[in-house]
Homo-oligomer: A and B are copies of this chain.
Amino acid sequence: MPNISQRGVSMPASPIRKLVPLANKAKSKGVKVYHLNIGQPDLPTPEVAMEALKHIDRKVLEYSPSEGILSFRKKLVNYYATFNIHVDVEDIIITTGGSEAVLFSFMACLDPGDEIIVPEPAYANYMAFAISCGAVIKTIPSHIEDGFALPSIEKFEALITPRTKAILICNPNNPTGYLYTQKEMDQIRDIVKKYDLFLFSDEVYREFCYTDDPYISSFHLKGVENNVVLVDSVSKRYSECGIRIGAIITKNSQVRENVMKWCQARLSPPLIGQIIAEASLDTPKSYMTGVYNEYIQRRDFLIAGLNRIPGCYSPIPMGAFYTVAKLPVDDADKFCAWCLSEFEYEGQTVMMAPASGFYVTPGIGRNQVRIAYVLNKEDLKKALVVLEKALEAYPGRVL
């Protein structure tokens, strides 16, 4: 039997997936599991999207153009303009979800051995896509004490080598919910400019910023227009993760030409997903406002609840729908597994994502978990009670 690739061996398995069999076992025993571990919103997909789906009237479900459907891309130009992101239709390439946008951006820009600097904790799948193209992720820890703010720019500079090719940010951040300030974005711009790096900017949570300030996109940064490669997705903003539609947006024509080689190799992004995503751009403001207010309420409720539990701490995230919280436990991996396999409270338990999967530096964040507030408040309330009871009962409790 031939060996699998070394690349495959070095690919980390999803930090959450390891817990899935335990969750399934709990469910099979009749235990209700509150999923605080996933980024799948429970909110309905906009009606205008569902209507478009029902009215698809075609004889052949054919390939779309490799770069995406033109009318969809044109409409996206207007969408971005509402965020003061000014792009031409040529700057937009449609991808199969934000995941493919990350993979193709890396493929087009990074060679084996090239280094990307990323603040950690960071979205775990960046690591997977970096490994796919042989690139090396170098991380700089951010800290729960200051709400996971951008590490000092000196920390970035200390990591720069001749192989440094890019900085990667996720803003608002998954997993921390942190939203970069103007000052932080300016610091990122300065270092990108100084060392002429790519700036991969994952902005899929742009709709979910809970400050009154306007959103700051990497596209707003002056003087690095050809360095910025924006990764986007419609998944979260319209609660339509399953349609797999994302985008790469860049003013850098060389990057676009190169990305297109991968787009052509995979022929076409999903046709029906694009039809739905295009229709979603007409989602009424009332829907977006409703979703926004709902997340703010959930956030406030969750964070207050967490901080009331003895030994727990969560900063107040200003964006996205996640927080990274500190728990009074010896090891969050063990605790999360224990919640699913050895604990229940009134027939219920919780599933959380241990933060270890979001750190590259070994050993840090061991008492942290990522909690998504994609459940309704009633369920969040119950989940918080279960979490508190679990912490009281957990043998590895550390106060």
Residues of A with Cβ closer than 8 Å to B? 1-2, 4-9, 11-14, 17, 40-45, 49-50, 53-54, 56, 58-64, 66, 96-97, 99-100, 103, 107-112, 114, 125, 128-129, 132-134, 165-166, 196-198, 226-227, 239-244, 252, 254-255, 258, 261-262, 264-273, 276
Task: Give bound CA distance, A361 to B132, whole Å.
Answer: 27
Q: Which residues of B contact A264 (CB under 8 A)?
A: 13-14, 17, 125, 128
Task: Give bound CA distance, A306 to B239, whole Å.
Answer: 52
Q: Which residues of B contact A9 (CB under 8 A)?
A: 258
Whether A59 and B45, one on each chain, are in contact in the complex, defined by CB atoms closer than 8 angstroms, is: yes
Task: Give bound CA distance, A360 to B246, whole Å.
Answer: 33
Whether A61 and B45, one on each chain, are in contact in the complex, defined by CB atoms closer than 8 angstroms, is: yes
Taking A61-B45, A63-B40 as contacts, is the C-beta distance between A242 and B268 under 8 angstroms?
Answer: yes
Whether A2 and B108, one on each chain, are in contact in the complex, defined by CB atoms closer than 8 angstroms, is: no
Q: Which residues of B contact A12 (CB under 8 A)?
A: 261
Taking A61-B45, A61-B239, A62-B242 as contacts, is the C-beta distance between A266 and B97 under 8 angstroms?
Answer: yes
Taking A2-B197, A227-B1, A239-B60 as contacts, is the C-beta distance between A109 and B272 under 8 angstroms?
Answer: no
The 10 residue pairs across chains A and B that have the minimum distance between CB atoms: A242-B271, A128-B265, A8-B258, A99-B266, A14-B264, A11-B261, A61-B240, A61-B242, A1-B226, A125-B265
Choice from B44, B198, B273 contacting A60 with Cβ under 8 Å: B44
Task: Give bound CA distance, A231 to B39, whole Å.
Answer: 30
Task: Give bound CA distance, A255 to B1, whole Å.
Answer: 10
Q: Which residues of B contact A165 (CB under 8 A)?
A: 2
Q: Which residues of B contact A262 (CB under 8 A)?
A: 11, 128, 132
Task: Give bound CA distance, A13 to B262, whole Å.
Answer: 9
Whether B43 and A276, one on each chain, are in contact in the complex, defined by CB atoms closer than 8 angstroms, is: no
A326 to chain B: closest CB distance in Å? 26
Whether B272 and A53, one on each chain, are in contact in the complex, defined by CB atoms closer than 8 angstroms, is: yes
Task: Give bound CA distance, A5 to B262, whole Å.
Answer: 13
A244 nearest CB neighbor, chain B only = B270
Q: Which residues of B contact A227 (CB under 8 A)?
A: 1-2
Q: Which residues of B contact A273 (CB under 8 A)?
A: 270, 272
